Amino acid sequence: MVQPFHLAVPVDDLAAARAFYGDMMGCPEGRSSDRWVDFDFFGHQFVVHLGTPVGQPDHNDVDGKAVPSFHYGVVLDWEDWHSLATRLAAAEVEFIIEPGIRFEGEVGEQATMFFLDPAGNALEFKAFKDPSQLFAK
């Protein structure tokens, strides 16, 4: 079993973070205070803290797309990734990189999408057609 990770990121509005991560992303809320909120982020402990958001991250060119150098997210299973992409599109989330498939028909075929939370933190969610190829070269 993979152990859950712990990640904390700064946000400038806890109510907006609760609406985004809790309501839209479907992450159950755990403990909280007037300065932070814990979420069950797909089985991982994710905390938003009131603070100064990271801001506009640097980018790297990956397959002709500007990928934010600072980002986080989760590798989902194939069906869950497609369900999330559909839910985000229906909520009119603005994608940095639209949902799509990389390496189609090749080793490491994966679905990926990038978007921002309300504080401007970049998220990437991906899924592998064959999960055993997560680290394949």
Task: With a cut of 80, say whether residue 50 has pLDDT above it.
Answer: yes
CA distances from 79 to 24, 68, 86 (A): 18, 25, 11
> What pTM does this model have?
0.89
Task: With a cut of 80, say whether residue 55 has pLDDT above it.
Answer: no
CA 15 to CA 56: how far, in whole Å?
21
For residue 129, give the nearest of 67, 72, 79, 63 by alpha carbon. Answer: 79
Within the chain, all domains assigned CATH 3.30.720.120 are found at 6-50
- Number of residues written out for the chain: 137
Structure confidence at residue 1 (pLDDT): 76
Phi–psi pair at 109, nearest 5 degrees: -55, 130
Name which CATH class applies to 6-50.
alpha beta
- Out of 3.10.180.10, 3.90.550.10, 3.40.50.300, 3.30.200.20, the CATH code matching 59-133 is 3.10.180.10
Q: Give per-residue pLDDT as tens, 70-110.
A: 899 999 999 999 999 999 999 999 999 999 999 999 898 99
